Structure 1
Amino acid sequence: MSVTTHAFQNTLAYAQQCDAHDPLHRFRAEFHLPQHAGKPALYFCGNSLGLQPKSARAAVEQELDDWARLGVEGHFQGKNPWLYYHKLLQEPAARLVGAEPDEVVVMNSLTVNLHLMLISFYQPHREANGTRRFRILVEGGAFPSDQYALESQARLHGLDPDEAIVEVHPRTGEHTLRTEDLLATIARYGDELALVMMGGVNYYTGQCYDMAAITEAAHRVGAYAGFDLAHAAGNVVLRLHDWGVDFAVWCSYKYLNSGPGGTSGTFVHARHARNKELPRLAGWWGHNEAERFLMQKGFQPMPGAAGWQLSNAQIFPMAIHKASLEVFEAAGGMEALRAKSERLTGYLEFLLRDYQEHAARHRPAKALPEVQIITPSNPAERGCQLSLLVPEGGRALFQRLTERGVVADWREPDVIRVAPVPLYNTFEEVYTFVQLFYELWPDSVA
């Protein structure tokens, strides 16, 4: 389905018709929906925490039962032997991000995995011509955890973060980055650049970056390219192997619906994942599994991303993640979800603009300040999130929406983030949200 706004209609009947013909509508019943005043809340916060799959409880109880029944033997005799649990997640996780199975491993948490990747892929040094290759390029306003990780890695190498880290900001008066500006900055720093490390989708604006073009530009100047996919995995179609991305990390608790603090995924491209000489921090579970229980010195990494594992699997969060990945598989994967997502988010954008235009035409004397959608309109440049800049009364409006059963997200100083997720949100919910938005806003401004 292509996103053509002229096909949309600002009516409840139209929204309900879209839901009736939605092939993914049945998956809404696979999730627990938070309640408000005796009916489902309007939950548009999957970009912060995805909803609980109903299958998650049984998945965890299976592992609890095996632990109670078998004790330590659950590592070998359980229904899903814990010794190899991470392998159960490998193929569905790889399909989710467009990778070969051995390029992906699920382990740890996101920032831990980011640090593991930075140890391997951020190695400041001097080139043969004497040029110091030490800079890291990142988008201005990156998620704080990424900023802190990069700052500490720079200091680990004895560098001043203010000198080592290059931030690329939008042009004056703009909210999102232009791809040509990113590529030009990469070219400008050239052989001083060691690493390009960006979010795949910016958490604040919802902008999806052209990861293929960024990776190509980084490689052209001899730098590595890595991405934090916290807001991209499970949200947009990814082709990490084909794009040649060097590494990527992501969490599982946002669009991947795997519970608060859920386990993380890591991608290492095959050309690195099978390179045993690449610097890394080592741990027992990354050691050659054929000799792991010989308990000897001398680290021999497993081939593939699994060679970056430190410790044995976190079984309970991985059980939830396994249950969620099974829902993604049943839904037909990211291509099917993305088709609905583009239409669902397109409908949200259409309704917001339609109400704004109607108010300007029919109530010019009482027209509200314009809601600025700072997320790109081009579906290729965004995921399902729209970031709404509300210039007056935004905080009060957000509070009123919350009181009426809307679960969205407020970001200082004036942005409401709204993310209609294709697995469990509906067109009718989007329609109802926009109705409430414009019903409550005048009182918030007043």
Structure 2
Amino acid sequence: MTYSSSPAFAAEMDAADALASFRAEFHIPPGPDGQPCAYFCGNSLGLLPKAARAAVEQEFADWERLGVEGHFHGTSPWMHYHETLTGATARLVGAKPIEVVVMNNLTVNLHLLLITFYRPTATRYKILMEGGAFPSDQYALESQARLHGLHPDDAIVELVPRPGEHTLRTEDIEAKIAELGDSLATILLGGVNYYTGQAFDMAAITRAGHAVGALVGFDLAHAAGNLHLELHGWDVDFACWCSYKYLNSGPGGTSGVYIHERFAQRPDLLRLAGWWGHDLSDRFQMKKGFRPMAGAAGWQLSNAQIFPMAIHRVSIAMVDRAGGMTALRRKSEQLTGYLEYLIEQLGLPRTRLEIITPADPAQRGCQLSLLVHERGRELFDFLAARGIIADWREPNVIRLAPVPLYNTFEDVRRAGEALRTFTMSNEQ
């Protein structure tokens, strides 16, 4: 695509955008001037869908009208509420319905999965993760290693980029996996690294992990709703993700879990059990002796979080209505490519500002991370004062994420113009 920094180009692209109508389904926060801001922080917290309030109010109404009977006789009976999310969730991540369930929060689910899929032995005990992973992943793996009597410094192997580079090369990840060989128990990477915005080749990593006998999982917090995923086709063993970033399901929103169907009929697998994961056929007989439901549902602990799930049901249905991840990725690549173009047009030396997110669209989602070597915080504040909401990460990275459901080409042009204005003012 040939880009232009002109307002006419942005207007033309927005007029031709097949997803343009979805922006009106969100509340766009106002900027300092009272006009809608250009919100590029969906990689941290997505915006509020207008239909979410009515969806939650419906559950309040059923609770008010029915009390406990809402579990069986409400508009969407709570007893089976989580099942209303299964189909859309499976489509979202490229899975079979038996392989997914929505429950709990992200790090809770990460721990539940690691109880099952990190089972170290005396010789096979290493965990592989990316260096600089999101702290929740770091802390979860540290504590899981200690849970098994291991020291994290010995059990956890961190992948780091080559000197002078900011992101990991797939061949280096594969080489490290081969080097660890039969000492490697589990691989856990983020589908997209939160800091650099790099999207990993999950299919290649899974193949390499399985070749040495390791189990392979991903934290998809920054990938679900952002990338086209084929977890079943890639043969991934397990994964989990949050719903409050690209899936716009509210702060602290509910989480999704994927477990490959090869484990669906494995009641012998060690797990932390809860009532809601017990076989539904005799769950209410309240007997001793846990018998898990088949598939990912057998890892449930407690009954559904109805109010967060009501928001999530609105949001995940929107992905389907938009045409799924194929349609969202098409626009995402255009928006992110446009932002990249506008930044490159500034002509700044890498000693002042550089994009550390891969240039290859296949290796990134809709986030660009700008490493600002001079006056980074000042630039971030400059953008905010002009209604451009970005994300600051210490020590000097600004993350900008144009989300296809609600961001426009005009939003991106505004951001590019603000960056140009700041750059020119600093050169005078």
Shorter-chain TM band: over 0.9
Give how far 1:275 is off.
Answer: 1.4
Give how far 1:409 is off.
Answer: 0.2
Tell me which residue corresponds to 2:14: 19
Tell me which residue corresponds to 1:129: none
Q: Percent identity?
A: 65
- Paired residues of 1:393 and 1:444 also in contact (CA < 8 A): no
Tell me which residue corresponds to 1:363: none
Distance 1:156 1:431 in 2: 50
Question: Per the alignment, in what secondary structure is the counterpart of residue 243 of structure 2?
Answer: coil
Tell me which residue corresponds to 1:65: 61
Alignment match of 1:384 (pick from 339, 343, 366):
366
- Paired residues of 1:374 and 1:386 also in contact (CA < 8 A): yes
Aligned residue runs from structure 1 range 214-293, under 5 A = 214-293=205-284
Tell me which residue corresponds to 2:304: 313
> Are the structure 2 counterparts of residues 306 and 445 from structure 1 closer, same or farther at C-alpha, using a change threshold of 3 Å?
farther
- Paired residues of 1:397 and 1:444 also in contact (CA < 8 A): no
Alignment match of 2:73 (pick from 70, 77, 85):
77
Tell me which residue corresponds to 2:113: 117
Give how far 1:273 is off.
Answer: 2.5
Aligned residue runs from structure 1 range 313-332, under 5 A = 313-332=304-323
* 1:423 corresponds to 2:405: yes
TM-score normalised by structure 1 residue count: 0.94
Tell me which residue corresponds to 1:207: 198
Give how far 1:274 is off.
Answer: 2.4
Tell me which residue corresponds to 1:178: 169
Distance 2:133 2:339 in 1: 25
Distance 2:366 2:289 in 1: 46
Runs of 4+ in 1 over 3 A off after TM superposition: 367-370, 441-446
- Alignment-mate amino acid for residue 112 of structure 1: V
Question: Per the alignment, in what secondary structure is the counterpart of residue 388 of structure 1?
Answer: strand
Pick which of 398-407 and 170-179 moved more.
Answer: 398-407
Give how far 1:370 is off.
Answer: 3.8
Alignment match of 2:94 (pick from 77, 95, 98):
98
- Paired residues of 2:115 and 2:270 also in contact (CA < 8 A): yes
* 1:405 corresponds to 2:394: no
Tell me which residue corresponds to 1:364: none
Distance 1:434 1:273 in 2: 49
- Paired residues of 1:393 and 1:445 also in contact (CA < 8 A): no
Give how far 1:368 is off.
Answer: 9.5
- Paired residues of 1:394 and 1:444 also in contact (CA < 8 A): no
Give how far 1:407 is off.
Answer: 0.8
Please, which runs of 5 or more residues in structure 1 have no aligned partner?
127-131, 361-366
* 1:340 corresponds to 2:335: no
Alignment match of 1:47 (pick from 43, 48, 62):
43
Tell me which residue corresponds to 1:439: 421
Distance 2:85 2:350 in 1: 49
- Paired residues of 1:19 and 1:25 also in contact (CA < 8 A): yes
Give how far 1:241 is off.
Answer: 0.3
- Paired residues of 1:74 and 1:81 also in contact (CA < 8 A): yes
Deviation string 1:374-433 (CA, Å, 9 cap, x unpaired) is: 000000000000000111001011011111111110011111000000000000110111
- Alignment-mate amino acid for residue 212 of structure 1: A
Deviation string 1:144-181 (CA, Å, 9 cap, x unpaired) is: 00000000000000001000000010011100000000
- Paired residues of 2:353 and 2:374 also in contact (CA < 8 A): no
Deviation string 1:324-344 (CA, Å, 9 cap, x unpaired) is: 011111101000000010011
Deviation string 1:194-224 (CA, Å, 9 cap, x unpaired) is: 0010000000000000000000000000000
Give how far 1:438 is off.
Answer: 1.8
Aligned residue runs from structure 1 range 353-392, under 5 A = 353-356=344-347, 370-392=352-374
- Alignment-mate amino acid for residue 261 of structure 1: G
> Are the structure 2 counterparts of residues 445 and 227 from structure 1 closer, same or farther at C-alpha, using a change threshold of 3 Å?
farther
- Alignment-mate amino acid for residue 381 of structure 1: Q
Question: Per the alignment, in what secondary structure is the counterpart of residue 125 of structure 1?
Answer: coil
Distance 1:190 1:287 in 2: 36
> Are the structure 2 counterparts of residues 431 and 123 from structure 1 closer, same or farther at C-alpha, using a change threshold of 3 Å?
same
Q: Work out the number of aligned pairs and report it.
A: 427
Give how far 1:437 is off.
Answer: 1.3
- Alignment-mate amino acid for residue 100 of structure 1: K
Pick which of 31-40 and 78-87 moved more.
Answer: 31-40
- Alignment-mate amino acid for residue 273 of structure 2: A
Give how far 1:440 is off.
Answer: 2.1
- Paired residues of 1:340 and 1:422 also in contact (CA < 8 A): yes
TM-score normalised by structure 2 residue count: 0.98
- Paired residues of 1:406 and 1:433 also in contact (CA < 8 A): yes
Distance 2:230 2:264 in 1: 17
Distance 2:4 2:402 in 1: 18
- Paired residues of 1:201 and 1:232 also in contact (CA < 8 A): yes
Distance 1:368 1:284 in 2: 55
Give how far 1:369 is off.
Answer: 5.2
- Paired residues of 1:116 and 1:280 also in contact (CA < 8 A): yes
Please, which runs of 5 or more residues in structure 2 have no aligned partner?
none
- Alignment-mate amino acid for residue 19 of structure 2: L
> Are the structure 2 counterparts of residues 369 and 445 from structure 1 closer, same or farther at C-alpha, using a change threshold of 3 Å?
farther
Tell me which residue corresponds to 1:38: 34
Distance 2:399 2:13 in 1: 23
- Alignment-mate amino acid for residue 114 of structure 2: L
Alignment match of 1:9 (pick from 4, 12, 33):
4
- What root-mean-square deviation, in Å, do the aligned CA atoms of Structure 1 and Structure 2 show? 1.2
